[in-house]
Amino acid sequence: MTIYYVNGSYQSRSKALISVEDRGFNFSDGVYEVIGFSKQKLLNFKKHTVRLKRSLNNLNISHPFKNFKSLELIISNLINLNSTENGFIYLQITRGSAKRNHLFPKNVSPNVVIFTFSNKDLKNLIKGVSVGISQDLRWLRCDIKSISLLPNLLEKQKASDKGFYEIWQSRNNQITEGSTSNAFIINTKNVIFTHPANNLILGGVTRDCVINIAKRNGFLVKEKSFTINDIQKCKEAFLTSTTVGVLPVIKIDKCIINKGKPGNITLKIMELYNKYLIKQIK
């Protein structure tokens, strides 16, 4: 039986209930995090909590946990109760429940929901995925990990209907990021490019780790946006997210990358990132 954490208690699915006046439900007024765990140990936990704190502060939602040590304990209990070794945590915090009104309610406590979900089958994806290109229809605060994901959903669905795995969004001719991942290309001089971590993208935890790991291992990384024209000339491409790690991109729109095979630098970065995760569970 799956156990869910809801506002301080651990419940079975039928008892894991949230008010119909929850502001996340009514207004998408909330934030979330997805955190990986392996052998019951949380991965990149500190980085996720730093981002969570930023998201909450940016939306003026009060912090529901005494500190992040107490959050870690709650999550550990939940993982234990679900007897899951490896997987992911979905954590959602909304402003709280109140009579529907656009203005922020006074004296409400945030609603917290946490549940675990299991690993996707990555076997086929690591051979390389295809991505489409779409207009970036989102707002100008993509750096906040808000639960308001409609533009991401709409574009990802359209891409999926056309047979693509992911969509890379373009604003003013610059690729910002995927609908659920960060976007990278490698040019013919072996320089790795990704959009800078500003208000136009979500600063991915995996993106951040990959940039640091790549630099430490002698790769040149430029946090500079790239265009569709740069894609047409690139040597390799990949995407990153917590749920998939590093995935080779072998086709972008109609453009076949590296003859449709994962590139050598991408494969090296995948290996280095996996080693980096394994170190955290030792």
Stretch of 78-86, 129-137, 174-182, 248-256 contacting ligand PMP, by CB under 6 A: 174-182
By CB under 6 A, the residues from 125 to 144 that bind ligand PMP are none
Q: Is 233 a catalytic residue?
A: no
Residue pair 27/49 in contact by the 8 Å Cβ criterion: no
225 binds ligand PMP (CB under 6 A): no
Q: Is 241 in the site for ligand PMP (CB under 6 A)?
A: yes
Q: Residue 231 or 244: which CB sits closer to ligand PMP?
A: 244
Question: What whole-number distance in Å separates Cα of residue 194 and Cα of residue 60?
Answer: 29
Cβ nearer to ligand PMP, comparing 204 with 262: 204
SS3 237: strand
From 69, 145, 158, 189, the catalytic residue? 145
Q: Please choose, out of 11-19, 61-69, 219-227, 236-244, the segment that lies near ligand PMP by the rule CB under 6 A.
A: 236-244
Residue type, 209: C
Residue 21 or 72: the one with the smaller Cβ distance to ligand PMP is 72
Angle ∠(174,177,181) on CA atoms, nearest 5: 165
CA atoms 123, 161, 203, 223: torsion sign: positive
Across the chain, how many H-helices and E-strands are there? 7, 16
Is 169 one of the binding residues for ligand PMP (CB under 6 A)? no
The amino acid that residue 154 corresponds to is L
**Least distance in Å: CB of 183 to ligand PMP?**
9
Q: Which residues of 227-251 are buried (b: 16+ CB within 10 A; e: fewer)?
A: eeeebeebbbbbbbbbebbbbbbbb
Q: CB nearer to ligand PMP: give 32 or 96.
A: 32
In single-letter form, the type of residue at position 89 comes to I
Nearest residue (CB) to ligand PMP, 20 versus 140: 140
Helix residue ranges per DSSP H, 105-263: 150-161, 205-216, 228-233
194 binds ligand PMP (CB under 6 A): no
Catalytically active residues, by annotation: 145
Residues lying near ligand PMP in the complex (CB under 6 A) are found at: 34, 152, 177, 180-182, 202, 204-207, 240-242
